Structures are given as structure tokens and as C-alpha cells.
Amino acid sequence: MTMITHTVYEKGKVQSLGFTMPDGRKATVGVLEAGSYNFGVAKRREEIEVITGELSLPGSNNMKWHPMTNDVLVFEEGQTIEFLAIDGTSYLCIYG
């Protein structure tokens, strides 16, 4: 039986439901309110698929943001997980 966990971040602006996929990998589905987010350094690989809404990533000079809609964002272990949610956004994140 898979246990579902509920996690709240950023004073309720980000909420996720965690679960274990049939292949044993951990995953979360969640929602973000519009805003800028920095979740620190990835402890493991994270693949974030934008389901609805839009996320933007900082450019190389940290001044430009590049929109990502219906794409998969990959953060490798050690990378900073930072993005801007343009609107309310839903996502699927697979770890590992």
C-alpha cells in the first residue's frame, strides 16, 4: 500500500502530495501560486514536468528568465532549484 504524504512550503503557496511510483521511485504532484521560489540545492536528481501553468528559469546572467510550459525541467544533484511561477502552476516531480 502506498502512503501519500502532504507537504506545505512557502507559507502555503506551494503544496505537494508525495507517493512512491510502481517502479519504486519517489514522486510528488503539486501546485504553486504565482511567485519566485528557491528550494536550495538538489540532494538528488529531480525531473519536474510542468502540467499546467508556466515556470521560468533564471538565465545565465540571473537577469533573464526563460519560460517553460509543458516541459520537463531537470535539476541534477548539487544544482540550485530556483524558478518563477508566472501563474498558478501544477507539476509532477520524479526523484532519483
Strand ordering across the sheet containing 5-9: 5-9, 14-20, 26-32, 89-95, 46-52, 72-75
Q: What is the CATH number of the domain that holds 15?
A: 2.60.120.10
Among residues 89, 57, 94, the alpha carbon closest in space to that of 70 is found at: 89
Q: Across residues 81-90, what is the average pLDDT? A: 91
Q: Across residues 75-93, what is the average pLDDT? A: 93
Query: pLDDT tens digits for 32-51?
Result: 999 999 999 999 999 999 99
Number of domains in the chain: 1
Instruction: Quote the domain boundaries for residue 68.
Output: 5-95
Predicted confidence at residue 15, as pLDDT, reads 98
